[in-house]
Structure 1
Amino acid sequence: MSGFSYKDIYIEDGKRVLEVNILPEKHCNFDCIFCPIGRSHNKVDTQQSFDEIDNSLNELNNMIEDNNVELVFINSKGEALVNDKIDDVIDLIKSKGVPVRLLSNGYILGRDEYIKIVNKCDEVIGEIKAITEEDFQKIQRPIQGYTLEEYISNMVLFNKQYKGKFILEVTIIKGYNDTDESINKIKDVINKLSPDKIIVGRMEDERFKKKLGITDERFEEISKALLNS
């Protein structure tokens, strides 16, 4: 039995993409109030061991071969980097001649032990949601001791030495980062980080959309402002 789970193969920019979750349950260094997966009962930022990795790797190998996969997107329940076998996962994918995209919330990208692993990936996605320290603590509920300043700094330091494609995913949240002042702060982060691509999103989950979602008009305004920055 495999500990990995998969989404159906889909086409993106003409490529067949396999999206894989390498965590058996949610393990994350945040406990965001709007997380679609639910609460973080395993709030960690150090690597953990999970069972049956050999079966999982064999299944992943077969999935890649049987589906003519052209990109593997490691998009997990929480922070994929805390799986202590992620190195093996990336090495397997690369051995098939297939590029790797990794989603990380971005906080631990500044740590040497993770930098070495993530540098193997062809694309990395980091995230920005809260833009003030108070909101960062309130809505993202990080591990104690985490600060927004260090969060941003970790991504900046990582991207300065990273040779692949760094993608910044910005989520706009009503009442937290949707004012003009907040957008200017996000622009400052973008300028510091210099990502290769920016993705602007908003609350789409029906459980959070009513309270934290923004109007189409405001979303379009913000998207234009950020994408042109």
Structure 2
Amino acid sequence: MGGFSYKDIYIEDGRRVLEVNILPEKHCNFDCIFCPIGRSQNKVDTQKSFDRIDSSLIELESMIENTKAELIFINSKGEALVNEKIIDVIHIIKGKGLPVKLLSNGYILNWPEFKEIANMCEEVIGEIKVISNEDFQKIQRPIGGYTFENHILNMKAFREQYNGKFILEVTILKGYNDDEESIQKIKNIIKEISPDKVIIARLEEERFKKKLGIMDERFEEISTALLNI
């Protein structure tokens, strides 16, 4: 199984964005209970090869040209960094004179073999979704040995040496990080990582909203508190 997939072009900050998934199926170092893609049958934190990569790279070049994209957003089914050809993907994009935005869950960003790749991108997004190791293990279900503390330290260390725009996406989950004590902890984490931009998100899929979704009014309160640190 192989091949890239794409979302329709959209406009963000005045630029035409082409969003590409470079994983044929989910490969991630987490197995979050609320992941819209489903369970992680392939829980990995090392790079691997995929079929049809040569034809996928050719297709990527054509997509960039045909869509007149101005920014390429690598947003994949899991952790894009585990595709061993991600450097080739970035080189193709750079060869077209375009900037690259990369979404990562953030845990492996500062690992030497992945840091060099992420440093090639103009924008990198890391994520937090909980505020304790207990919840990290319970609902994000990382590879054994991962801790929440290392998750934060890895993003902090990456941010300190990164010359591009580092974006931290914080997902608010009902019952896990939506109370005042949790909001204060998130504030402290944001200050520790010191991102260039913060995005506050919530779960939008209907199947997760009832249990983990945040009501509009509370979401606005939290967003205001976290975006005005």
TM norm. shorter chain > 0.5: yes
Q: Deviations over 1:104-156 (max 9, x none)?
A: 00000110110000000000000000111110000000000000000000000
Aligned sequence identity (%): 74
Cα drift, residue 14 of structure 1: 1.4
Are the equivalent residues in 2 in contact too, given 1:102–1:125 (CA < 8 A)?
yes
Give the Cα–Cα distance (whole angstroms) in 2 for the partners of residues 2 and 23 of structure 1.
Answer: 7
Give the Cα–Cα distance (whole angstroms) in 2 for the partners of residues 22 and 87 of structure 1.
Answer: 11
Give 1:176's aligned residue: 176
Give 1:156's aligned residue: 156
- What amino acid is the match of 2:206? E
Give 2:127's aligned residue: 127
- What amino acid is the match of 1:23? L
Give the Cα–Cα distance (whole angstroms) in 1 for the partners of residues 52 and 204 of structure 2.
Answer: 34
- Structure 1: which 4+ aligned runs deviate by more than 2 Å? none
Give the Cα–Cα distance (whole angstroms) in 2 for the partners of residues 71 and 23 of structure 1.
Answer: 19
Give 1:105's aligned residue: 105
Give 2:144's aligned residue: 144
- Aligned pairs, how many? 229
Give the Cα–Cα distance (whole angstroms) in 2 for the partners of residues 219 and 8 of structure 1.
Answer: 28
Cα drift, residue 203 of structure 1: 1.3
- What amino acid is the match of 1:141? R
Task: Trace 1:59-98 onto structure 2 (pairs within 5 A).
Answer: 59-98=59-98
Q: Deviations over 1:24-58 (max 9, x none)?
A: 00000000000000000000000010012111110
TM-score (norm 2): 0.98
TM-score (norm 1): 0.98
- What amino acid is the match of 2:20? V
Give 2:7's aligned residue: 7
In the alignment, structure 1 residue 117 sits paired with structure 2 residue 117 = yes
- What amino acid is the match of 1:45? D
Are the equivalent residues in 1 in contact too, given 2:131–2:182 (CA < 8 A)?
yes
Give 2:48's aligned residue: 48
Cα drift, residue 217 of structure 1: 1.1
Give the Cα–Cα distance (whole angstroms) in 2 for the partners of residues 76 and 201 of structure 1.
Answer: 18
Are the equivalent residues in 2 in contact too, given 1:2–1:55 (CA < 8 A)?
no
Give the Cα–Cα distance (whole angstroms) in 1 for the partners of residues 221 and 12 of structure 2.
Answer: 26
Give the Cα–Cα distance (whole angstroms) in 1 for the partners of residues 128 and 207 of structure 2.
Answer: 21
Cα drift, residue 2 of structure 1: 6.2
Gap change, CA 1:34 and 1:2, over 3 Å in 2: closer
Q: Residue 107 of structure 1 aligns to a residue in which SS?
A: coil
Give the Cα–Cα distance (whole angstroms) in 2 for the partners of residues 2 and 83 of structure 1.
Answer: 11
Q: Residue 25 of structure 1 aligns to a residue in which SS?
A: coil
